[in-house]
Structures are given as C-alpha cells and as structure tokens.
Structure 1
Amino acid sequence: MSETTSRGNKKKYDGYKSFQYLEPGVDFKEYKLSKENDRVEPYIYEVTADEEEKVQKILEEDLMISMHEHTFILPEDLNEFFEFRRQGRDSTGYEALSQSGLDVIFENFMDGTAMVTSQAGWKWSDVIHDLGIRFSDIAHQDMVIKAERISDLYRAKEEGKIAFVGALESATMIENELDRLDVLYGFGIRTMGVVYSEANQLGSGLREPSDGGLTVFGKQAVQRMNKLGITVDVSHASDKTSLDTIEVSDKPVTINHSGARALWDSRRLKPDDVLKACAEKGGVIGIEAAPHTTITKNNPVHNIESFMEHFEYVANYAGIDHVAFGPDTLFGDHVGIHDLLSGALSIKSAHGKNSFPKVDYVKGLENPAECFPNIVRWLVKKGYSREDIQKVTGGNIMRVLKETWVK
C-alpha cells in the first residue's frame, strides 16, 4: 500500500500474523490466503495536495468508525472455500488494517457461512466456535483490542490501536432461547441484526415472499437486547420487520449496511419509510459497499461514485445526523465469493430482476483498508465541512452507542 494511503492514522503494528503462536500443519491446516494489500490495482480518489493534507489531518485527529466489516482473509483459491470454512479458523488482515485509517471496526465475522458442523450456517455451536477462535487470536496481539464499553473506543484512538466491536448480522442462532443473547453479550457481542435474509424465530428476512413482520418472540428478543446493551440492527430484515423492530425498541435502531431503494430497486436496500422511521427513532444508516449493492441509475457500474450517491440521498432525506458508513468489505475476491454463495446468502434473490454491469471489484472501496481514506477524500473534495465529516465518519455512530450500550 502506498505511503499516500497509509500516512494518516497509521497504527502501531508489530508484524503479528494470525495464529503465529501455533504451528501450521500441526495445530491447524494452512491455506494460501489472498493478499491483504494490492490484490487489485490500488485506487486513490483524486484530490489536490491541499485537500490531501486536510484528509490526513482528519484521519489523524478524528474518530473513524466503520459500522460493518468482515476483516478476515479469504483463501486465494475459492474452490477451497467450503473446506476452509469447515476448519473454523479465520485469519484477520492486521497488516492492512494498520494502514486503514480506522479507529473502530464493527467486526461481523462470517457466521452465515460458519460451517464447522453444518452447511447452512448460523448454528449455535458454530457461532460460539467462530467467536472464540477469532477472539483468541485477537488476545495474542496488541494492535486490535476487544471493545466492550464506550471508553474502549476512545482508548483505541488514544493508544494508536483499533477497537473491534463484536457484531452479528442475525439472531438466528439463538433459536427460541432468550438467554443465549446474554451468553453472546458475555462473549463480547455489542450489536446484532434481528434476522438475516431468511426468516427466523424473530421475524421475516428480506428474501421472504410474504412479510409477517416481527414475531412475539422477536419483540421479546429486541426488549432483551435493549436491556443488555446490544445495539439492534435491521439491515437484512424485511420492510415490515424493520418497521416493527424500530417501533418496539426502546432505543435507537441501526441499519448498519444498506442504502436507498429509491435509487435502486433492490430488496437489499431500504425504502424511504424505513429510512425515515430509523432516523426519527434516533438511529443511523450505514452505507453499504459490497459488490453490486449500492448502484444507481446514474452510476450503474458499482464504484465509489454510486456508493456516495446513496450517501448523499440518505443524508438529504434522513438528515446528516443519521447517516454513516458500513462498507461491508473483506480481504479477497468479494465478487467471486458472492458468485459462490449466491444462493446460500440470498444475494441473487435480493437483486430481483435488475440487470447491471458486473464489476470485478468495487473501485475505491475494494477492502477494509482502502475504504475510509477514499471516503474522506471524496467528502473533502465535495466541500463537506469538518463538522459534517466528523458526524458521518464516527460522531453519529457514537451518539447511538451512547444511547444503546451499558454506560
């Protein structure tokens, strides 16, 4: 990664690689992993020298928070993916993250593809295994810290480290057991989606042909999450389930990785009434960058421009105080893994009948290390004020966490 992209807010990284405390081939099976940096041609959003100085100052001084990422590294050969997942051991892209400009990352793991005992994902034992393995690795290094309270987020910034917020995209694994939410909180989970794209005990996902909304058990689960201090998310929920959840929750609800359906007719994106309800409850909407999500009629080729078109729509419609960024990226061939898992992760059904040019990667937003420097460059280039940039790159999220987490 070039000096230009890595200068601002570079972290104190000592060269640690995941599981280096174990012996490959003895303690675990080793796979050749994708490159963390420069897997594709690096892209730096074009700004002037004066604008770049402003960008670097913002990255250095202000709190940079990504609401949604998967910081693990895919195997280079995706034909090995299912075997790789059955091993239940994901490596984290520490080196690249040290140059990402990020202070706080909502780490969403990969539990829709947790396949240690099942090919369906979301099984309780597999999720617990996944969380334990990743947090064990994190505990053996010094750059990333496990964040459980607001003070941990500020501490990470002050110490030149990165705070990982434990996040899950669905509550499917709790089945009908409310106390499992307490267990997950104890493991470090601080934000959770009520449902992934397929329906579960809590409600309907965006994939379902009929939308039954939040169930009675779902209401109980939302109330328990409120009491525990788990931020409730509805990114993958159906429209009615999203609205029901926002209404039932005593606290603000997030949509931590999505966009505006008004710009692109996809069930993966949220209609105006859901965006409005989220904002009116005090919540925040994080803009998604996973391949072929936040595209628009003006920018059908997915890149940073189409992504930021969704940002501006939500900022103008819901208000600048209710928008942030949840790029939802990873290290490796994101388009390739979507192709491989199009059925399992409901990717194809979310697109519906829409046709669009397929990209090999999202230019400017290819992985968790590339996103925020380019997002800040775009905002500076377009003349956004320092105050508004502070809000959308971290301040709005912090407001919600202060209202939803244990003090």
Structure 2
Amino acid sequence: MGDALRQWGPAVLAWAVLLTRRGGTGARRCLRWVFLGLACSLTAQIPFTTVVVSQVTGSGDLARLVNHTGMVLTAWAGQEFMARMNGYPRGPRWQAWWAAAGFAVMCVFFAATPDLRPQSPWVMEYCLAYAAAQLPALTTVVVLGLRHARRAGDRVLRTSLRLVVAGTVFGVLYLANKTILAMSPRLGFEFAPSRTPVAREALPTTAYLLVLLGAALPTALGWLHHYRLHRRLGPLWRALYRAEPAIALDPPRVPDVLVLRDLRLRVYRRVIEIRDGLLALQPYRDPAVTETVHAQATESGLTGRARDAAVEAATVTAALHAHATKSVPARSGLVPHGGTDLADDTAFLVAVSRAFRNARRSRVPDRPSRALDRHPARPVTGPAGQRGRGGRSTG
C-alpha cells in the first residue's frame, strides 16, 4: 500500500490540480504548464506506465524520456511563473532557447544510446544535457522565489513560495545525484550515496510533493475560503429567496454542500442577490425594531460588527414576518450600507447570516420585538416597488 501511494499519489495530485484549474493568462497560464509538466513526468515514471509504454512501443526507456521531458517543461514554466510573480513581463528569452536546445541534445543522445543504464554509451552525455537543460531555470526559481517570499505580505503566498523553493532545491540535489551516478562508470569511481533509498526514492518524491503542495496551496485554500463563504451566506440567502424568488438568477438545484465549482462567482452572485432581497424588504423594515434591538444588543455588551450583524438579523426577521403577512409598519427603514468594498460587505453579510441562523436555531419568534405591536401596520395595496438586477443599497 505504501509503495502504491508513493508511486501513484503525486501523479494523481498533479492531474487533479491541473484539471480543476481554469484557463488564464500570464502567471496563471505558466502555472498550468508547471502542473502539466509535473503530471506527465510523474505519470511516466510509474512502473505500470513504464510497462505499458514498453509493450506498446517496444522501447523500454521511452517512458523515461517522457518523464525527463516533463521535468524540462516544468523547470522552464516554473521560472516563467516566478518571473511574472516578480513583476517581469516574461522570463529571459535565452532560457527558453537554452531549455529547447538542451532537450534537442537529449533526444539526439537518447536515439544514440541503446538503453539508459549508467554503463551504456552516451548515457553520461544524455544526463549532462538533461541537467544542463534545467539548471538555469531551477536556479531562477530559487532566486526569484526567495526574493518574492521576502516581499509578499500574504502569509499563504509566503508559505507557498518557500515550499516551491524547498522542493526545487531537493530537485537540484536529485538531479546532481543522477548526473554523478551516470558519470561514475565512465570516470571509474563509485559514489555509494547515489544508490541509497534516500537518494533514489525519498529525494525525488519529497521534491515533487513540496513543489506540488506549494503550487497548489493558494488555489486549495482559496477554494476552501469561497466554499465556506458560500455555505455561510446560505441561511440568509435562502430566507430571502423564499420571500422573493425573483432575486435568484438561477434557482437552487442542489444543497450548498454539493456546490463545488465556480465558487468565487457564486459567492459574488449570492452577495448581490442578498442585497437585492434586502432591498425588496425595505418597505417592511421597521425602524422601531432596529432601535429596540440595537439598545438591547448594546446593553448585552455587543459592540462593532457583532452588534450591527445581530441588529440587522433581527430587523430582517421582523421584515420577513411583515412581508409574509402582507403588511408594512407605519414607518419603513433603509437598508444599511454594509461593508466598504466587496470583501468587507461579504464579511458583514456572513456575520448577519450567522446571527440569523443562530436566532432561528434558538427558536426566536417570528416577531422578535414588541416594537411592531406599538406601531400598527397598514396592509399593502400594491407592489413593494421596482428594483434593478444586482441593485446595491444607497440608503
């Protein structure tokens, strides 16, 4: 089981990350090339793949050439990605030509050698060309990665870059070990450490995993962040949707727990639709409820955003009740502004949704304040008013 996980795990992870990333330009495209190179390289070195390729093509070493080709692509794409992360429009043009020339020389020596055993003719030259094709790009990855990690303000990005740099260093060490192993028969010396399990298995596996984890970490944490935001906005959004189904661009088809794709866009749409729903409830918002709950929340020790969210949740609960009974208070209140930008507004609505959900779980009555009883409602004689799609509060 351990061997199977070591052989298949990194390849499966690389393909999973590659297939879940959408297309893009600039740095994002380079990162997709990194994952493509890693996925092809890791798949080609699985023993099962080697056997299949050998049986189909009749060449026992063709899978290793694919493995090495993927690594050359990964090294070149990695330095292109790091260049863009550091503000350059692209990596040095000569490095692309260097990698292409190194790969061409590799193919020449691969065609000339009968096999890739260390003692075979032209294997040393093949390994030297393989190392030379990657070394400038790998050096650039380490230098620019450390530079950007020192300047990055985001902790996740710093951790990601350092993991990539550490994996690249391990990869350079493995590359040096393979080169020495190929040179030793020709030069007549024995380098015992190159044949140990640590050098042959642990070193490359660690390098692959560190690069994969570092490259995938921002994407994975970003997905998890938006997944949690989407679910946390759910209680408030569903209550508003039941009151005003027109706010939803697409009716919900599956539970939130099963929504796994396009989460950034879905969170954005959910925030806009919640704002549409709150705007539709504006005629039913009772300022007396807001004032009473605000005083009660202040007396209980709530301050800042926690108090504002609790007040808004109670106001929305009362407004939903008034909407359901087709009546409005004598006075109506304005929808609060919320956050200063999209991220801040999303955080505010998440807090409101949490307070709204907790109030429902606590079996709070539909009319959370006696303020409604002190302000007689009048029946609704017409539609609540018109609003535009994607409307935001200006009150």
TM range (shorter): under 0.3
Which structure is larger by alpha-carbon Rg, 1 or 2?
Answer: 2
Q: Which has the higher contact order (CA 8 A, sep 6+)?
A: 1
Under a length normalisation based on structure 2, what TM-score does the superposition of the two structures give? 0.21
Under a length normalisation based on structure 1, what TM-score does the superposition of the two structures give? 0.21
